[in-house]
Structure 1
Amino acid sequence: MTTTTTAQVLSDLPQRSVAEPMDAGILEQLQQHLHLETQASYHYWELSGRFASRELRGFASFLQNESDSEREHAGRFIDYLNDRGASFRLGSQTPFQGDASSVVAVFEAVFGMERDVTSSLQQIHRLAEEAGDTRTAVFLEPLIEDQITSEGNAAHLLGRLRIAAGNPAALLLIDQELGEGHDAPHRLAGDSDS
């Protein structure tokens, strides 16, 4: 009796039809970015658990939401690569190696991760435009917009934490606000109905 593995079954299936093959350099950048998204999700999930263990539920909730968001972005990349007939790979994840000695230090690392993800998206978008890959450029545009907002929110939170440094009451107030979903800076432009 012979056994067939899942890999063998999948390798026997025909490839998806695609309208435009993807440039190998762009594909590699998309793969690297997928790893950034999954790594950020993993780190945020880990940090969420650390904050939960310190009774800072607002910070834990905020970081869990960020983890979910990064994982959702990774899912969009996997879907896009599948739609383009390209394979994807998920790299192994490493534990958070940043400075976790204070809330400020953790959020400096969070801001750094958000900044790196934004930079990666912008770099891939630039490559896609240079290669004339409109499909990839259009796919990335709403992700870049979302990411710029996330980076701005992380910068806002880091700024507030720096102001509150060393003040437990201020830290608990920020934790409470995060628990209530208040993590974005005040905007002067916006919906006049709110």
Structure 2
Amino acid sequence: MVKEEVQQLVNNLIQIEHVSTTLYLAMSAYLDRKNFTGMAKWLRLQSEEERTHMLTLIDYLAGKDGIVQLKEIPEQPTNFGTPLETFRSVLEHEQFVTNSYRQAYDYINQIDPQTAVIVQDFLREQIDEEAQSLTIVERLTLAENNPSALLLLDQELGQRQGGAPAVG
């Protein structure tokens, strides 16, 4: 059976991924309503990716005979501002997630090396998550007052397929 402190840590990461899923889904719905359908698609796929992360953590904890605790998810906003403001929020959230995984890894590495490997895999993935978000923010900053550039970027983000984000 999994140690109580490991169980709490993994449940905390499950909660973070669950919030990420709903946050990105809310952002997707907002941008879709604003007719930025490519950005909406990108965020919908990002939401699905975060859900996959959550399910992976749930399966891991359940496989160690741990107790999975799905806690209440806070209500998400319905307005995220401009596309730039929306993706700045994405970047800030990804930085929060990275920091959460970093802290979890630093702690868990001392008491449960097997779980540390799982956490480290997610931490590695966060490098790409932050880089993609930063690239989008930088490109939206360049395009901010140019409707044609915004529409081109929207179209490019809409090319994303399931799996790794498409930008760059």
TM-score of the pair, normalised by structure 1 = 0.79
Alpha-carbon offset, residue 27 of structure 1:
2.3
Higher normalized contact order (CA 8 Å, seq sep 6+, divided by chain length): 2
| CA distance in 2 between partners of 1:98 and 1:147 (Å) | 26
| CA distance in 2 between partners of 1:86 and 1:63 (Å) | 31
| CA distance in 2 between partners of 1:173 and 1:92 (Å) | 38
- Percent identity (aligned): 26
> In structure 2, the residue corresponding to 1:85 is in which secondary structure?
coil
CA contact (8 A) 2:28 2:44 kept: yes
Q: Give the letter aligned to residue 184 of structure 1.
A: V
CA contact (8 A) 2:26 2:78 kept: no
Q: Give the letter aligned to residue 172 of structure 1.
A: L
> In structure 1, the residue corresponding to 2:22 is in which secondary structure?
helix
CA contact (8 A) 2:11 2:69 kept: yes
Q: Give the letter aligned to residue 159 of structure 2.
A: E
Aligned to 1:77: 57
Structure 1 residues 49 and 97: CA distance shift in structure 2, 3 A: closer
| CA distance in 1 between partners of 2:78 and 2:11 (Å) | 23
Alpha-carbon offset, residue 183 of structure 1:
3.0
CA contact (8 A) 1:118 1:147 kept: yes
After TM superposition, where is structure 1 displaced by more than 4 Å over at least 4 residues in a row? none
CA contact (8 A) 2:31 2:83 kept: no
Q: Which entry has the higher C-alpha Rg, 1 or 2?
A: 1
Alpha-carbon offset, residue 136 of structure 1:
0.5
Unpaired runs of 5+ in structure 1?
A: 1-17, 186-194
CA RMSD of aligned residues (A): 1.7
Unpaired runs of 5+ in structure 2?
A: none
Aligned to 2:27: 47
The reply on whether 1:183 has 2:162 as its aligned counterpart is: no
Provide the aligned length of Structure 1 versus Structure 2: 164
Alpha-carbon offset, residue 174 of structure 1:
0.4
Deviates more, 1:69-78 or 1:115-124: 115-124
Q: How does 1:131-146 map to 2 (within 5 A)?
A: 131=111, 133-146=112-125
Q: How does 1:25-44 map to 2 (within 5 A)?
A: 25-44=5-24
| CA distance in 1 between partners of 2:96 and 2:78 (Å) | 14
| CA distance in 1 between partners of 2:51 and 2:106 (Å) | 23
CA contact (8 A) 2:156 2:167 kept: no
The reply on whether 1:117 has 2:97 as its aligned counterpart is: yes
Identify the structure with the greater helix proportion. 2
Deviations 1:54-98 (A, max 9, x none): 221110110000000000000011001101111011122223349
Deviations 1:93-118 (A, max 9, x none): 22334972211111111111111111
CA contact (8 A) 1:37 1:74 kept: yes
